[in-house]
Amino acid sequence: MPKLSRRAFASALPLGLLGGSLLGGGMIEGSSALAATQDTGKAPVSVTPLAQIRIGRFTVTALTDGYADMPYNYFPGRTAAEVEQAAVAQFTARASGVRFLFNQYLVEDGERRILIDAGAAGSIGQTGRLPQALAALGLQRDQIDAVIVTHMHQDHMGGLILGGKNNYPNAELYIDRRDVAHWIDPAKRNGAPDYLQTSFKMADEVVRLYPRLQAIDGEREIVPGVSIVDLTGHTPGHIGVRVEDGGQSLIMVSDMIFPVVHPGATDVFFLFEQDPAAAKAMRDRFFPRAASEGTLIAATHMPFPGLGRVVADRGQMRWQTADWALQN
């Protein structure tokens, strides 16, 4: 099936669940996939998950690069046993740890395609699926007009430079200036633990391979309706992206919130956070405000599609998954 008609087919479907195999191969492959899952002798067919919602004139598509399980001792502020206990209570416990998804978001207004984050691209866990997810929409990476990278950790920028090349040759690239400065600073790199070295290395490569990188300062509009929100804390220049139109809005908050441990507490951290006080301040500011305003959130590491809200339940903050399928 040519790309154009795949795209047209995708647009003709109601917003909601779009299965990659179904889009790629049409109904016949779809039925054989169903048959395969009914045959207990075979593993279920894995489809590329995509989820779409509308925010005013924008279509926002959640795409995933994959997942990785984070050991229970990666969450400073709590013991491994406490984190595991919380995972058990939420029915998400795995022997290998807390499952992190790697969600990216494509924002389209009919003219421009803006991708938020580029995925780990195989540098962590079972990742590297973003190009397939884009292909399920009939898109190649050279059709992306802009990439906003929320911060320079390897799981958010790896896909930019996989294979040592510029994988988004036609995109403007936006990253907060404080993160660019931090992650290309040799003094910071020398003082950093081993598990952050890949991010430092990748940051150098991003700067080298993307002459169109725009180091941005503070909150600003990228295009009308798409703007940067300052969420410093997880990293010095950690940012979110607000998409707003026609009285509807969504904030992609990236690593503001991690599964199992947030938003129930703000004094629990992820290993990669070098400034826990700043990370705590970020969450102390954001969670109560998001709860009182009912902000629709998209979050990188929450279960796919990462869409939900922070809800205050008798003083206790919890994550409430947002309805997204068949809502329009």
Q: Within 10 A of 225 (CB to CB), how many other CB atoms are there?
A: 18
- Please state the closest distance from residue 36 (CB atom) to Zn ion, in A: 33
Cβ atoms of residues 227 and 220 within 8 Å: yes
Least distance to Zn ion, CB of residue 85, Å:
24
For residue 11, give every residue at least 6 positions away whose Cβ sits within 8 Å of its Cβ, in sequence order, or none: none
Cβ proximity of 68 and 119 under 8 Å: no
155 versus 176: smaller Cβ distance to Zn ion: 155
Smallest separation, CB 6 to Zn ion (Å): 30
- Kindly state the smallest distance separating residue 288's Cβ from Zn ion, in Å: 23
Q: Closest separation between CB of residue 153 and Zn ion, Å? A: 5
Q: Which is nearer to Zn ion, 176 or 255 (CB)?
A: 255
Does residue 84 belong to the site contacting Zn ion (CB under 5 A)?
A: no
Helices and strands (H, E) in the chain, number of each type: 9, 16
> In terms of CB distance, is 138 or 159 closer to Zn ion?
159
For residue 61, the minimal CB distance to Zn ion (Å) is 19
Give the number of other CB atoms < 10 A from CB of residue 269: 24
Q: Name all contacts of 168-172 with Cβ < 8 Å and 24+ positions apart.
A: 168/115, 168/118, 168/141, 168/142, 168/144, 169/141, 169/142, 170/142, 170/143, 170/144, 170/145, 171/115, 171/144, 171/145, 171/146, 171/147, 171/212, 172/145, 172/146, 172/147, 172/212, 172/214
**Residue 20 or 233 with smaller CB distance to Zn ion:** 233
Question: Based on CB atoms, which residue is closest to Zn ion, 228 or 257?
Answer: 257
Per-residue contact flags (x/-) with Zn ion for residues 237 to 256, judged by CB under 5 A: ------------------x-
Question: What is 299-314 written as a DSSP string?
Answer: ETTSSTT-EEEEEEET
Please, what is the minimum distance in Å from the beta carbon of residue 100 to Zn ion?
7
Q: Which of residues 254-273 bind Zn ion (CB under 5 A)?
A: 255
Question: CB-wise, 138 or 158, nearer to Zn ion?
Answer: 158
> 46-58: string of b/e by CB count within 10 Å (b at 16+)?
ebbbbbbbebeeb
State how far the Cα of 17 lies from the Cα of 49, in Å rounded to an integer.
Answer: 8
Count the residues of the shown chain that bind Zn ion, applying the rule CB under 5 A.
2
Residues, the chain: 328
Q: Which residue number, 65 or 109, has a Cβ lying nearer to Zn ion? A: 65
Q: Shortest approach of Zn ion to residue 235 CB, angstroms?
A: 9
- Minimum CB distance to Zn ion smaller for 10 or for 282: 282
* Closest by Cα among 219, 176, 261, 197 to 269: 261
Of 139 and 228, the one with the shorter C-beta distance to Zn ion is: 228
Residue 161: left if φ>0, alpha if ψ -120 to 50, beta else—which one?
Answer: alpha
- Residue 18 is given by DSSP the state E
CB of residue 156 vs Zn ion: minimum separation in angstroms? 6
Please report, as residue ranges, which positions from 145 to 184 form the binding site for Zn ion (by CB under 5 A).
Answer: 155
- Output the furthest CA–CA distance in the chain (Å, rounded): 57
Under a CB-based contact definition with an 8 Å cutoff, are residues 182 and 269 in contact? no
Which residues of the shown chain bind Zn ion in the complex (CB under 5 A)? 155, 255
